[in-house]
Amino acid sequence: MQEKQSATATEMAQVETIIGRILQVGVVLSAIVMGVGLVILLATGDSGYAGHTVPLTMAAILVGSWQLKSYAIMMLGMYCLILTPVLRVVVSIYAFYKERDHLYVAITTAVLIILMIALAIGLTGK
């Protein structure tokens, strides 16, 4: 019995390490992407869009990023930053499932559903 508890504790420590790494990598990646957009903005002096227009839809952000438009790249960095905690929630669901903690699996899944609904509302603008 003690071996099983020790194995579970070791596995949970590994999951916590993975969660911490996900948060670190997500923040660093989003900062790098936003930094690239800022460098392009400062180098060209142009946002890539007419007037005060900014890309708001994911399609516009991806197309604008592919075209190296600075505002689109900075928005892509913001989306990476927003999605980082969502990925953390997904990993937490897995960790609670491995622990066989069904209550927390249900609660965390509900949180993920709420985040997805909010993200969908934000993307559609309705």
Yes or no: say if 23 and 29 are a contact pair by the CB < 8 Å rule: no
Region 85-97: mean pLDDT is 88
Yes or no: say if 89 and 111 are a contact pair by the CB < 8 Å rule: yes
**Quick check: 1 pLDDT over 60?**
no
Say whether pTM exceeds 0.85: no
Strongest mean pLDDT among 43-47, 80-84, 86-90, 111-115 = 111-115
Q: What is the pLDDT of residue 49?
A: 82
Yes or no: say if 73 and 33 are a contact pair by the CB < 8 Å rule: yes
**Quick check: 74 pLDDT over 90?**
yes
Tell me how far CA of residue 119 lies from CA of 3, 41, 42, 113, in angstroms: 42, 27, 30, 10
**Quick check: 87 pLDDT over 80?**
yes
Helix, strand, coil share of the chain (percent; to 5)? 85, 0, 15
Average pLDDT, the chain: 85
The closest of 61, 13, 6 to 33, measured between CA atoms, is: 61
